[in-house]
Amino acid sequence: MVRSVLIVEDEPSIADTLIFALEKESFSPTRVATLSEARSAIAASEFSAIILDVGLPDGNGFDFCKELRKDSDIPVIFLTARGDEIDKIVGLEIGADDYVTKPFSPREITARLRAIFRRLDKSGRHSSEASFSSFEIDKCKRQIKFKNQTLELSRYEFGILELLLARPGQVFSRQQIMESVWEDPDMSLERTVDTHVKTLRGKLSAIESGEEYLLTHRGVGYSIKDEND
């Protein structure tokens, strides 16, 4: 099965590199340089995934992703500027599936694409069963249920858990957590993340003590267990 991938990138050299890499891996790339072209392309044909630059001549990729997410769950990989942690976090929060930082190697992109398609194939195969998760999140009410019990969470605990749940299995560093959850991250110590994680973990184990869901990665950060693994 040939997967068609829409590349939205205004810089010709990057677009060419991507096209070359994708074709080499037997994907079928289509390239556009603006958001308005992207809208027309999506209206005209179906794509398996979108590689989306953040800075485009007629708008930014984040807004476009939000727009897309209103009626589509097509996989989106963001191309973000170098070292911009905030961009990455924002990207994941608004529903991107992955991100790659410029400059990237073409193999990095094709590996991410394959990983996304693998995940999709996996969940697609099991689509008749409900996807297993111990957590239920209600973003409007800012409420999270764990094992069908509503957790009483502080603002920071909610923010941390919400962020981790957006990407089960992915490790977030303390700094990433701070930048995403705290309004004024420079004013706090990264150690306060540990404190909130500790109380959060206590609340989870009060409901279920047998298994660890909130994982510590020493010297790196925290993640939520990927229950579909």
User: Is residue 10 involved in binding Ca ion (CB under 5 A)?
Assistant: yes
User: What is the total count of residues that contact Ca ion (CB under 5 A)?
Assistant: 3
CB of residue 79 to Ca ion, shortest distance in Å = 8
CB of residue 35 to Ca ion, shortest distance in Å = 11
User: Is residue 93 involved in binding Ca ion (CB under 5 A)?
Assistant: no
Contact (CB, 8 A) for 50 and 8:
yes
User: Is residue 179 involved in binding Ca ion (CB under 5 A)?
Assistant: no
Beta-carbon contacts of residue 113 (< 8 Å; ≥ 6 apart): 3, 5, 22, 25, 27, 49, 51, 77
Which whole-number Å values give the CA distances from 46 to 10, 30, 56, 90, 100, in the listed order? 21, 11, 22, 26, 23
Nearest CB to Ca ion, comparing residues 100 and 181: 100
CB of residue 62 to Ca ion, shortest distance in Å = 13
User: Is residue 87 involved in binding Ca ion (CB under 5 A)?
Assistant: no
User: Is residue 55 involved in binding Ca ion (CB under 5 A)?
Assistant: yes
Contact (CB, 8 A) for 10 and 20:
no
Nearest CB to Ca ion, comparing residues 103 and 219: 103
User: Is residue 53 involved in binding Ca ion (CB under 5 A)?
Assistant: yes
Beta strands in 11-114 (DSSP E): 28-32, 49-53, 55-56, 59-60, 76-80, 98-101
Helix/strand number for the chain, H first, E second: 8, 13
User: Is residue 185 involved in binding Ca ion (CB under 5 A)?
Assistant: no
User: Is residue 59 involved in binding Ca ion (CB under 5 A)?
Assistant: no
Binding site for Ca ion (CB under 5 A): 10, 53, 55
